[in-house]
Amino acid sequence: MTELPQRGAVWREDIRRRFLAVDTSNVADVLDTLGLPDQGLAPQFAPYPATTGQLAGFAYTIRGQMTPFPLGGDAEKMKACQGVSPGEVTVWSGDGEGICYFGELIAIGMKEKGCVGALVDGGIRDIRWIGEQAFPVYARYRTPVQSIGRWKVNASQVPVLMRGATSRYVEIKPGDFILADDDGAIVIPAERIEEVLAEAERLTAVEVNIRRDLSRGLSLADALAKYGHV
């Protein structure tokens, strides 16, 4: 894996705030033009609660697998969560079905460390209470069934695979950027973050102008003639 230059906290937060001002749809269009058409995640990924708002941050990956073990906790899960840094989104992957990967208390702990949300290729619970924490979570499903005794974390900060929209899986590496909103979730490779963001901002500005002109009475045909396809 190619080593990327280390960026400071100010740069990371600026990037994150700017991504919060663009839509996943524009990002997806930009990725298409760059020859990266399979970065969207499966349509089952949804916000929990539905009012959670956008999710934007740098990927901190956590991987697990179905592993029967005695009740009493998952030390590896706790250890993995301790490594999260400000501006990061925890990305949970694995083979669990019908169980939750985390709930309210882990969300609180991650938020205390500056984590800005979670993307879960599995289930979550305690949704009402997570919502009260203003901690954005996008997951494939919700379930009351805990992971303890069933599913165990076995790695963190490694490349992981998440279910995709146009491909079976999308690879997510530590440091990639995660953006999710009402349209779904998408992954921007770390080495393309600034390039994708700048073009998504340009498209967003064009759309703002189109909506303004339409509200002033310009026809859609004339708007498309003026601005082109977006």
Numbered residues of the known binding site: 103-106, 125-126
CA dihedral 199, 210, 212, 20 (to 10 degrees): -30
Binding residues for substrate: 103-106, 125
Say if residues 45 and 119 touch (Cβ distance below 8 Å). Answer: yes
How large is the C-alpha radius of gyration of the chain? Answer: 19
d(CA 7, CA 167) in angstroms, rounded, equals: 31
**Can you say how many angstroms the Cα of residue 89 is from the centroid of all Cα atoms in its chain?**
7
The torsion angles phi and psi of 202, rounded to 5 degrees, stand at -65, -45
Q: Quickly tell me which residue has 């305690």 as its tokens.
A: 126
d(CA 187, CA 178) in angstroms, rounded, equals: 5
Beta bridge partners of residue 153, listed in sequence order: 64
Binding residues for Mg(2+): 126
Could you check whether the bond before residue 49 is cis, i.e. omega within 30 degrees of 0?
A: yes
d(CA 171, CA 163) in angstroms, rounded, equals: 9
**204 vs 21, 26, 75, 105, 170, CA distance in Å?**
8, 7, 44, 37, 25
